[in-house]
Structure 1
Amino acid sequence: MSVNHGANLYNLSSKYGFSKEEFMDFSSNINPFGTSKLAKEYVINNINMVSMYPDPDYINLKKSVSSYCKCLDENIILGSGATELISSFIETINPKKALLISPAYSEYEKELSKINCKVEKYFAKCENDFKIDTKELILELNKNDYDLIIICNPNNPTGFTFSKYEVKEILESTKSFVMIDETYIEFTDTNTYSSTQLVDTHPNLFVIRGTSKFFSTPGIRLGYGLICNEEIKNNINSNLDLWNINILASSMGEIMFTDEDFISNTVDIMLRERDYLVKELSNIKDLKVYESQGNFILCKIKSEDLTGKELREKLIPNKIIIRDCASFDGLNEFFFRVCILKPKENKLLISELKKIFN
């Protein structure tokens, strides 16, 4: 994994003499409680299915995603992780000019650069606590002729999130394609913030989701895109490999998306722990803490006596890893991000930060 996408535990364990498992990785946005027990048990009890081909039409998996996202199953595109679908969509629509809501995940710009797309950025401002006024954004859209607008919702790393009503307003104010990356949406109130229910009625909307973060399954490489635009949908599907989702990922997906106990328990615990971390971090006078709807929290060191990178280095000997955010366009060296881990680990993080800053 690139250092710009989080910690490389292999390098750190070699450098500091800790095992990878000993580290408390607050730089990783993955659900720390693991994946659906029902899904894991199904795979264990049906391991002989590896000798079978998956259903090439993935009918049951699409039904599961459709019920989960409240959209038509015919508008679902399956991919080997969200990144494959981001790449496929951008390559398919081939935009000449794109607007990127920033700071943002670096892969968007990387994919746009592959096709020589002109990239312009609309920066959420620090002085506005990284909140974006929808009407001001729409004014910007109306000034320019963009082929594509990319929004990470909730935004990584700021945590700001447009409501589905604001997304609808954006969609209806532009003819541009709008790609909404909902990688972290399940850590929010999805009824308020998710755009999946808009897919069936807005042909210029493409919603990206994956299972790596909320369902804690980066190893199975399962992502899905939602779009009703027939031409784009057919074009993307025609360029995907047959059986691009392996049978283990397909089977786990069928069950994960219907495991209501896992979903509700994860949301309850993560929101409670996020509230705890926001409160405790805000009590450290040298930190500015930004409101977040994601499973991560952006902070800025106010004193400027210590950079995010230096803070990270101070915490590593205590087996704690945070994310230095200087690599995000629009943020400086005093920003860092922490993700939400288990209660005991969150308390240890706060304890060590208080020792450093007090």
Structure 2
Amino acid sequence: MSINHGANLYDLSKKYGFSKDEFLDFSSNINPFGASTLAKETVINNIDQVSIYPDPNYINLKNSISNYCNCLQQNIILGSGATELISSFIKTINPTNALLLSPAYSEYEKELSKINCKIDKYYSKPENNFKIDVANLINTVNKNNYQLIIICNPSNPTGFTFTNTEIECLLKSTNAFVMVDETYIEFTDNAKFSSTKLVDNYNNLFVIRGTSKFFSTPGIRLGYGLISNENVKNSINSNLDLWNINILASLMGEVMFKDSDFIDNTVKVMTDQRTLLLKELKKLKDLKVYDSQGNFILCEITSKALTASEIREKLIPHKIIIRDCSSFDGLGEYFFRVCILKPEDNQLLLKSLNTILK
């Protein structure tokens, strides 16, 4: 994994002499409680299915996603992770100009650059607590006739989140395609923030989700996109490989989207821990802590006595890794991000940061 996508535990283990399992990785925003037990048991109990081909139409998997996202089954596109779908969508609509809400995940700009798209950036700013006014955004889009708007919701790394009412206003008020990456939306209030229920009614909306973060399954490479635009949907589907989702990923997906106990428990614990971590981080000296709806929190070192890189290095002997955010466009060397882990791990982070900042 490159520096732009978090820590490489294998390299750090070799450098510092720790087992990679000893590290508390606050740079990786994956559900720390692991995958759904029901989904894992399904794989174990059906392991012999590795000897057969998956259903090429993935009917059961799409039914599960459809019920989970409250959208029509025919508007679901399956992909090998969210990044594949980002690339496929951008190549398909082939915009000549796009507006990228920044700071943002680096892959958006990378994929836009591949098609020689003109990229403008709409920066959320620390002086506004990284909040974005949707009316001002709409004016900017219409003034410049952008063909595509890319939004990560909640925004990584700032944690700012548009409500689905605001996204609907954007869809109604512009002629642009709107791509909403909801990689982290499930850690917050879906009813208020998720745009999946808008998909069936707006053909200029593409919602992307993956299962790596919330469902803690980066190893199965399962992502899905939601879109009702027939031309775009058919074009993307025509370029996907047959059986692009392996049988184990399909089996897990059929079960985990229905595992309400896992889903409800994850949301409750992560919400409680986010509230606690925000409260306690705000007590630490020389830190400005930004409110977040994601499973991560952005912090700024206000004293400038240490850089984020220096704090990161000081935490490694404590077997703690944080994300230095200097690689995010629009942020500087004094910003870092911490993800929410298990309660006892979060307490150790607070204790270690307090020691360093003193």
1:110 and 1:263 mapped to 2: Cα distance? 32
The offset of 1:357, in angstroms, is: 1.2
* Separation (CA, whole Å) in 1 of partners of 2:178 and 2:138: 12
- What is the distance in 2 between the residues matched to 1:229 and 1:4? 33
**Which residue matches 2:25?**
25
Report the equivalent of 1:352.
352
Kindly tell me the number of residue pairs found equivalent between the two proteins.
358
In the alignment, does 2:154 pair up with 1:154?
yes
Task: Determine if the alignment matches structure 1 residue 16 to structure 2 residue 16.
Answer: yes
Residues in 2 aligned to 1:267 and 1:190: alpha-carbon distance in whole angstroms: 10
Q: Gapped runs of 5+ residues in structure 2?
A: none
Match of 2:47 in 1: 47
Q: What is the match of residue 140 of structure 2?
A: 140
Q: CA deviation at 1:281?
A: 0.4
RMSD: 0.4
User: What percent of counterpart residues are identical?
Assistant: 73
Counterpart of 2:281 in structure 1 is 281
User: Which amino acid letter does the alignment assign opposite residue 189 of structure 1?
Assistant: D
CA distance in 2, matches of 1:346, 1:238: 45
Match of 1:83 in 2: 83
Q: TM-score, length-normalised on structure 1?
A: 1.00
Per the alignment, residue 106 of structure 1 pairs with: 106
Q: 1:290-318 CA deviation, whole Å, 9 max, x = no partner?
A: 00000000000000010000000000011
What is the alpha-carbon distance in structure 1 between the residues aligned to residue 145 and residue 131 of structure 2?
A: 24
Deviations along 1:30-55, whole A, 9 cap, x unmatched?
00000100000010111000001000
CA distance in 1, matches of 2:11, 2:117: 34
CA distance in 2, matches of 1:302, 1:102: 21
Map of 1:239-258 to 2, 5 A cutoff? 239-258=239-258
**Structure 1 residue 193 and structure 2 residue 193: aligned?**
yes
The answer as to 2:92 corresponding to 1:64 is no
1-structure distance, mates of 2:122, 2:357: 33
Q: CA deviation at 1:163?
A: 0.1
Displaced runs of 4 or more, over 2 A: none
Deviation for aligned residue 1:285? 2.5
- Once residues 140 and 156 of structure 1 are traced to their aligned partners in structure 2, the CA distance between those partners, rounded to angstroms, is 22
Q: How much does 1:139 deviate?
A: 1.0
The alignment status of 1:332 with 2:312, answered yes or no, reads: no
- Give the corresponding residue for 1:93: 93
Provide the rounded CA distance (Å) in 1 between the counterparts of 2:63 and 2:262.
Answer: 19
Letter in 1 for 2:296: F
- TM-score, normalised by the number of residues in structure 2: 1.00
For 1:199-225, what per-residue CA distance to the aligned partner results, in whole angstroms no more than 9, with x for missing partners?
000000000000000000000000000
1:265 aligns with: 265
- Distance in 1 between residues matched to 2:214 and 2:331, nearest whole Å: 26
